[in-house]
Structure 1
Amino acid sequence: MQQDVTRGSMVMGVLALALAGCGGGGGGTDSPAAAAVSAPSSSTSSPSASPGTSTQAASTTPAAQLPTASTTPSGALAAAPMLADCELFPASAIFNTRIDDTSRFPVHAQSATWKNLVGTSVPFSTDWGVNDNPASYSTYWGMPVNIIDGSAATTDWPVVSYDFSTSGVSMERGYPDKSDCATVGGDGYAITRPCGAVPTGQRRFPFPLSSRVLNEDGNCNDPNTCGDRHLLVVEKGACRLWEAYFAYQLSGQWYAMATAAWDMKSLSLRPDDWAAGDAAGLPITPLLAKAAEASSGEIRHALRVNFSDAKLSLEHVWPARFASGWDNPGAIPFGSLLRLRADFVIPDDWTTQAKALATAAKRYGLYVTDNGADFFVQGEPNAAWDLRTNAQMRNITMADMEFVDLKSVTSDPRFSKDSMAASW
C-alpha cells in the first residue's frame, strides 16, 4: 500500500500549531508493500528458548541502555546498542558500523542521479509523534516496540493465521511460505522457517497479551481502513526479535500478512528474496529512531528511510533481501545507504535529540527499506520527543545527503551476502 502523503502534510500543520503553543504533533505513516511468494525453502529452526520468569508485560520502548558518548572512529567497533538487556545485533553488523570514513565508504557513483530523482529540496521528515496513547489512534504516529519475556505473564504464544478470509472482515491472504513463526520445541518455542511448512494450528507467534499489545496505528483494528499495523516484539532473555506486518486481532484470532524472526545474537540475514515486516526484508526495530537514545545525545546505529514507488527500483542490494513496488530501472535499489554529508554543520541551538539524529545520519546513515513518502525516517511514538526536533530536522534536505558505496565491505573475501557482518 502507498503511504498516505496527505497525513504527512497534516502532521506538519499540527506541528506548526504546537510550536506556536497549541500542542499536538506527530509524523507520517509507513507502508511497505507485501512480500511476493515463491516455493518454500527447507525448514530451519533455532534452538528453543525456555519461557522466562519475569512478570514484565509488553511495554513501549524503555530507556535505551547506552554507553557514554564516544569518539570511536569510522570502521572501528563500538559497543552495540542495547534494548531489554539485549544487543540489537552484534557490534560488527552493518547497521551498527560507522560509515563516515569517506576513504573506505566513498560516495556512490549514482548518488547525484538518485538525489535528483527524489528532488534535492525534499526535507528530512520525522515519521513519529508525541502521542503515545494508542487509544487516540488518529494521532498515534510511529512504530512502538513491545518487550516480552516469553512467559505467560507477557504472551500466550497464540496461533497466527495468514488467511484473513476466515475472519469475515477481510479477504486478504498472507505469505506463510516466506514467513517465520514459533513452534513448540523442548521446553520453549523455536523459530521455524518457513511457516508454510507448519500445520496451520501449530503456527504460533509471540503477540503480547491483548490488554498490553502495542501496534503501529494504535487501537485502530479494521484491516480495511487502518493501515499496515506493524507489530514489533523484543523477547528479552532469549534476545530474539519478532516482527509482523499487517497484524490484526479479529474476534480473538490473530492474523498477519507476514511474520519474521531473528536471533539477535546472530549476524544471519533472512533468505534472499524474502521480505519481512518491511519490503527490504530487514529488521525494523534496530533501525528505529528512539526517544531515549536521541535524548541521551548519542545514537549508535543506522536509521531507516522510505521513498515513494516512483523513486525505487525493483532491485535490492546488500544488506536488503527483497524489493517491491514499481519496475523503475536505474532508480534507487532497496538496501541503498544514504548519509548526511560531512560538510553539513549541525547548529549549536538544535535540541539534543536533533543533534543526535543528525550525527547518526553522518556516522551510520539511513538504509532504504520501504515504500512510502519521500525521505520519511521512522521512529517510535513517545511523549519524550521534543517537537522542536521534528521542525529542526526538516532543515536537512536531500541536497545535504549522499548515497554511499559499500564495496569495501562487499568486495572483501570474507564477505557473505547472507550475513550482516561488515567487519571480521
Structure 2
Amino acid sequence: MTKLYASLALGLLAAACGGGGGSAPIATENASAPAPVAAAPAAAPPADSTIDCPMFPASAIFNTRIDDTARFPVHADNAAWQELVGRATPFTANWGTSSNPSDLQDYWGMPFNVVDAAATQWPLVSFDYAASGLVFEASYPAQSDCASSADGSGVVRGCTQVPASQRRFPFPSGTTLAEGGDCGGPSGCGDRHVLVVDKAACRLWEAFYAHRIAGQWYAVATASWDLRSNAMRPDGWGAADAAGLPITPLLAKANEAASGEIRHALRVTFRDAALSLQHVWPARFAAGSDNPGAIPFGSLLRLRADFAIPDAWSPQAKAVARAAQRYGLYVADNGADLHVQGAPDSAWDPAVWQQLRSITMADMEFVDTGAITRDARFAKDSLQAGW
C-alpha cells in the first residue's frame, strides 16, 4: 500500500476544501458528545482469548451475517466487477505459517500486539520521516490519531492538534510484532503495519509504515478505535489501510479458525486497476488511481451460498470459507487480486492455502447492503448494522 499514500495528498486537499473555515478545536474522545446512534446491544465475543475485548459490538457491520440473499441480494454491478477482476482469479490466503518474526520466508501477513496500557510505555511517535536521515516518506498527522499523555489517555483526532513533543502511540515496550517481521528497517520492509490492542481500555491502535530508527518511532499514519463502540473515524480520512477501515478485527486468525467458526468478516484487496477512487460505507476513504466504474473501497464480497465446502477440507479452511459466506469480505486496500489477509501463526494448517485456492472469483458475488444503508435508523458515521 505504500504507493497509495503517495496519492493521498490530492484526496486530503479535496477533503480540506470541502468544509467551512476557522480553526477546529482539539477533538478528543474523552470529551462529551452525543452518540451517533442508540446504545449498542451486548458486545460480540472476543476475537481472541488473549485480548479479552470485543472486536466491536455485536451490532457492528463486521459482526453482522449477510448470507440472507433475500435481504442482501447480489449487487447490480456484480457481473461487471467479477469480469474486471477475472472470474478465474483464485482466493489467496495472505498469511504465513510461522510465529517467528525472524523467519522472513514464512512470517508474512499482519500480526497484532496485545498490550496492557497500565503496564506499557507510550513512546512518542514522529510523523517527520525526513528527520530520521534514513528515509523520507510523506506523512499525514492531520488525519491521524494520537494519545496526548504518557498514560495513553486523551485520544485526539488529528495529531496536528497535539504538540509534536506529546504525540504518543502504544508501541510495545519489548518486541513489537509488525508486518514484514524483522526485515532490517525501512530499506527491507514494505507497508510495515503495526497493530496494537490495548486490552485495558479495549482500544485498537493501528499504524502504517511504522519504524523505530535510532530509538525514535516514526509512522506515516496512525488510527484508533474504541472496540466497545460503533463510532467511526471521520468520513474522508484514511487509516492504516486505504479504505480507512480497522485491520485487526478483519484478519483471519489461526485460533479462531481452529475452533471451527470465525464470527466476523474478513478483509480483501484487489489490484489498483480494479478499484475506483470512490468509497462506500463502511469505508471512509479511497486511494490509488481513478478507474470510473471499478470496485469502490468498502464494497462487500461473499462466497456464494451454492458453493459446497468440501468435507475433506481442514477445519481451518472450512471456517474461513464459512466466514466468507456468512460475514463476507470488505474491500479494504490496494494489493493483489482476491488476497484475503490474516495473522501469521505456526498454528495454521499448511493445507489451508491450497484448499482455499480452489475458490475462484466466479464463486464469489458482490452484495447490495441497501437493507442497512437505506434503513431510516442508519447512521453513516456508525458501524451499527442492526437495531
Q: TM-score, normalised by structure 2?
A: 0.91
Q: Mind listing any 5+ residue stretches in structure 2 that lack a counterpart?
A: 17-22, 32-40
Residues 41, 110 of structure 1: CA spacing in aligned structure 2 closer, same or farther, 3 A cutoff? farther
Which amino acid counterpart does residue 82 of structure 1 have in structure 2? Answer: A
Deviation at 1:225, TM superposition (A): 3.5
Residues 115, 33 of structure 1: CA spacing in aligned structure 2 closer, same or farther, 3 A cutoff? farther
Match of 1:170 in 2: 135
Task: Work out whether residues 7 and 288 of structure 2, in 8 Å CA contact, stay in contact via their aligned partners in 1.
Answer: no
Task: Work out whether residues 221 and 248 of structure 1, in 8 Å CA contact, stay in contact via their aligned partners in 2.
Answer: no
1:114 aligns with 2:72: no
Report Cα offsets for 1:174-206 as digits up to 9, x if no partner: 100000000128x75221111011110000011
Q: TM-score, normalised by structure 1?
A: 0.83
Deviation at 1:231, TM superposition (A): 0.3
Which amino acid counterpart does residue 156 of structure 1 have in structure 2? Answer: Q
Match of 2:381 in 1: 418
CA distance in 1, matches of 2:289, 2:140: 20
1:312 aligns with 2:275: yes
Residues 256, 142 of structure 1: CA spacing in aligned structure 2 closer, same or farther, 3 A cutoff? same
RMSD over aligned CA atoms reads: 1.9
Which amino acid counterpart does residue 321 of structure 1 have in structure 2? Answer: R
**Pick aligned residue for 2:167 from 197, 200, 203:** 203
Residues 266, 162 of structure 1: CA spacing in aligned structure 2 closer, same or farther, 3 A cutoff? same
Report Cα offsets for 1:124-154 as digits up to 9, x if no partner: 00100111111223432011110001134xx
**Pick aligned residue for 1:328 from 291, 299, 307:** 291
Could you say what secondary structure the match of 2:118 adopts?
coil
Residues 343, 77 of structure 1: CA spacing in aligned structure 2 closer, same or farther, 3 A cutoff? farther
Match of 1:238 in 2: 201
**1:238-277 counterparts in 2 under 5 A?**
238-277=201-240
Task: Work out whether residues 41 and 194 of structure 1, in 8 Å CA contact, stay in contact via their aligned partners in 2.
Answer: no
Match of 2:149 in 1: 184
**Pick aligned residue for 2:92 from 111, 125, 128:** 125
Task: Work out whether residues 43 and 56 of structure 2, in 8 Å CA contact, stay in contact via their aligned partners in 1.
Answer: no
Deviation at 1:41, TM superposition (A): 5.7
Which amino acid counterpart does residue 135 of structure 1 have in structure 2? Answer: S
Residues 265, 34 of structure 1: CA spacing in aligned structure 2 closer, same or farther, 3 A cutoff? farther
Which amino acid counterpart does residue 47 of structure 1 have in structure 2? Answer: N
Task: Work out whether residues 233 and 242 of structure 1, in 8 Å CA contact, stay in contact via their aligned partners in 2.
Answer: yes
Could you say what secondary structure the match of 1:286 adopts?
helix
Deviation at 1:220, TM superposition (A): 1.3
Deviation at 1:219, TM superposition (A): 1.3
Task: Work out whether residues 35 and 276 of structure 1, in 8 Å CA contact, stay in contact via their aligned partners in 2.
Answer: no
**1:138-157 counterparts in 2 under 5 A?**
138-152=105-119, 155-157=120-122
Deviation at 1:164, TM superposition (A): 0.6
Match of 2:372 in 1: 409
Deviation at 1:46, TM superposition (A): 2.2
CA distance in 1, matches of 2:24, 2:104: 38
Which amino acid counterpart does residue 191 of structure 1 have in structure 2? Answer: V
**Pick aligned residue for 1:85 from 52, 56, 74:** 52
**1:5-404 counterparts in 2 under 5 A?**
35-36=8-9, 37-38=12-13, 39=16, 42-47=25-30, 79-83=44-48, 84-152=51-119, 155-184=120-149, 188-209=152-173, 211-404=174-367
